[in-house]
């Protein structure tokens, strides 16, 4: 067993104000995205100005918040929020869904491209490279908060989380930070430097996130109010499996379309 570090979720207090590590992770994610998008845009010869990148980040932030919140309501707690509609606005109480956030970000990105005259895939292939950085930082925020921990295990690196009872558990947040953050970033960054077909980098995010999330969910504690669906799969796996399949099909389709044009 490895002792859980019990880091204070609040990294600084100024009078009545408390600044939390999780919020800092969000801020760092968006700041890093501005820099990363600029670097990849130059490498890919995408003609996008710094002001347009800033606007894109604003659209993405709105998509993350609205999509993540609505996704959580629809996928995880529809009955509760139908009975308590005012709670929909209580975002300070927590409740965000990655899958909903992805839908929100994709929609926001599509609308941004539509209004600014960009090709969606040209922008998406550049923007998604920064996504895993935010995902990795977010999972580290979950770890610091001691939330979204793993299932009980007797592996030597298990941890006892304050909110998880006496059981020693998988530090699944760290698994996700490694897979959804470091590994996924390496894949997308590699693809961004290769002459791949348009859309392949974007759909590779969908493909590999779906795969990594599906696998790590076997070690992650399922939502207490949902449990395992069909006695086997968590809600995260039910939502991630279609991502993997869709991503696989679309990567193949984009590659096939590119080869057809060359022929």
Q: 3-class DSSP state for residue 47?
A: coil
- pLDDT for 73 beyond 80: yes
pLDDT, tens digit (0-9, with 9 covering 90-100), for 6-40 = 899 888 888 888 888 888 998 899 899 999 999 99
Could you give the C-alpha distances from 28 to 107, 121, 182, 250, in angstroms and in order? 23, 25, 16, 31
pLDDT, tens digit (0-9, with 9 covering 90-100), for 85-131 = 888 877 766 678 889 999 999 999 999 999 999 999 999 999 999 99
Distance CA 108, CA 113 (A): 9
Check: CB of residue 221 under 8 Å from CB of residue 151.
yes
What pTM does this model have?
0.91
Residue among 154, 115, 100, 129 at smallest CA distance from 42: 129
Neighbours of 1 (CB within 10 A): 12
pLDDT (0 to 100) of residue 17? 83
Q: 3-class DSSP state for residue 217?
A: coil
Distance CA 147, CA 163 (A): 7
Confidence of residue 258 (pLDDT cuts 50, 70, 90): confident
Percentage of the chain with pLDDT > 70?
Answer: 97
Residue 163, token pair as written in the block? 């909110």
Distance CA 257, CA 263 (A): 10
DSSP of 94-116, one letter per residue? ----HHHHHHHHHHHHHHHHHHH
């Amino acid at each position: 067993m490895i002792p859980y570090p019990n880091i204070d979720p609040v990294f600084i207090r100024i009078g009545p104000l408390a600044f939390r590590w999780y919020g800092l992770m969000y801020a760092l994610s968006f700041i890093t995205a501005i820099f990363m998008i600029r670097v990849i845009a130059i490498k890919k010869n995408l003609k996008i100005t710094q002001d347009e990148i800033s606007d894109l980040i604003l659209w993405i932030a709105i998509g993350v918040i609205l999509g993540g919140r609505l996704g959580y309501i629809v996928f995880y707690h529809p009955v509760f929020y139908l009975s308590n509609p005012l709670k929909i606005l209580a975002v300070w109480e927590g409740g965000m869904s990655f899958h909903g956030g992805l839908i929100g970000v994709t929609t926001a990105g599509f609308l941004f491209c539509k209004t600014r005259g960009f090709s969606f895939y040209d922008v998406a292939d550049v923007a998604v490279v920064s996504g895993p950085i935010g995902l990795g930082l977010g999972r580290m925020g979950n770890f610091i908060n001691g939330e979204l921990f793993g299932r009980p295990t007797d592996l030597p690196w298990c941890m006892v989380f304050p909110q998880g009872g006496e059981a020693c558990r998988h530090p699944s947040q760290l698994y996700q930070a490694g897979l959804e953050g470091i590994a996924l970033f390496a894949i997308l960054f590699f693809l961004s430097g290769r002459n791949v077909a348009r859309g392949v980098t974007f759909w590779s995010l969908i493909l590999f996130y779906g795969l990594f999330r599906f696998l790590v969910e076997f070690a992650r504690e399922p939502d207490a109010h949902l449990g395992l669906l069909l006695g086997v799969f968590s809600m995260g796996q039910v939502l991630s499996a279609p991502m993997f399949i869709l991503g696989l099909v679309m990567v193949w389709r984009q590659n096939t379309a590119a080869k057809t044009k060359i022929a």
